[in-house]
Structure 1
């Protein structure tokens, strides 16, 4: 059999048909990518769930909240993981050990309810302060002892992490306040004993002597009367250790206004005082008070 020439043989062979190329659109690529990513996320969540990892949120006593991501026990309660507070603080919690290590260096050791500090516990603050006592709703609530790094100590009641109720505040120099607190400040009835020996018994408002009270100096002088914003202001009685006495009006810790001054020898002056000085001129000369009157009680 004669072979056909190369050119003719090639021409006689049937042509092979090529399959048309199908190009996927950008939309199809994006949909496929999204589906794959979603399936991956779901798979990761399932794996984490099977491993005991959970996300939970708890409300605190002051209206904030604590978010948790970590391991839980068979009942769904948090065991260990990361916590994030609504005000920005975060840390590591281990409910089995009863510890929380905060991002700012604070360390809590004690009872936990869910993720919240609740029951008896101790907080070691990064600045050196230490609190040990009762907690509720993740805040200091109840009674406890707060030791400040400067040496001051407060023992008493707290509400929402502030001194509130009855308590004793002892300063590092030995001075003490015993009495009522509210909103973190001395408010209500209380007494102060200073290291130097002075004492005050009476009313307080916003950490200041305010209202009725008696101040006794270490040298024996006493003042009983009205206070306003930590100073003698209003009606009162001042008795000096040497026997002298003033009864009348005060302003900014001085004898100011109408009053009666009595000396140990029986002399008495009743009239007007200004800046602690007896004023003995009449109102026509611009002082605004009548002349004072001296008297001898022995007569």
Structure 2
């Protein structure tokens, strides 16, 4: 292990959230509260509720994290709602009495009552849907403002794709780089891209892997195609277009320019400016429109 590997690993370790981290206590409390509210409303049978997102993928960071809760009615259970839209609306209706919220494309984002919706603070994304068959496997989600009214996906495939990847630590370090530099790109799309770029770099050290990802992104002429591992019919490449791609590429190119004269502590800074100056500066030279929200 090189000195650079040790520095990147040390930076990452100070930011990782594990089940034993003290910051997990309020997360567990709110998870149980949401579970209790939904169980009281719809019963405990005929539904599956579990963690998703960064917690299930083991990529949670202290600096920027939320809790994804997956709440799926079994295929033959209509208690939560007869249609996918009913499920989405009914789950939101129960939780809206207890939390401030922002409806998303496929998820409802919850905030503590009266708390700021940006910056630090616990955020909970509840993704409600119905299993296509039985009580496991593929699920249908309602899309509130997507091109289609429903989306078929498989969260277990998404989770395993990241959690079990041979260079999982490098994916985590790349995520920390994105957060630390205020890069405005969807994490779902970014981690798929990172995995594609790291696939052939299993034997590299941690710092070399992260550097290779940034160099690859910085030299790309256009946004690459990425594939949804759970459903090849889902167009996830659109999440790496327009301003999102311009911001990501500019940030990667800037970090690469620092390699010769700066250490990893500057490339993955300890804090992000309140006004997010690097991202604002990059956005001023970006063109195109933002991508639609995505929750899986």
TM bin (shorter chain):
under 0.3
**TM-score of the aligned structures, taking structure 2 as reference length:** 0.24
**TM-score of the aligned structures, taking structure 1 as reference length:** 0.24
Higher relative contact order (CA 8 A, sep 6+): 2
Whichever of the two has the greater Rg, that structure is 1
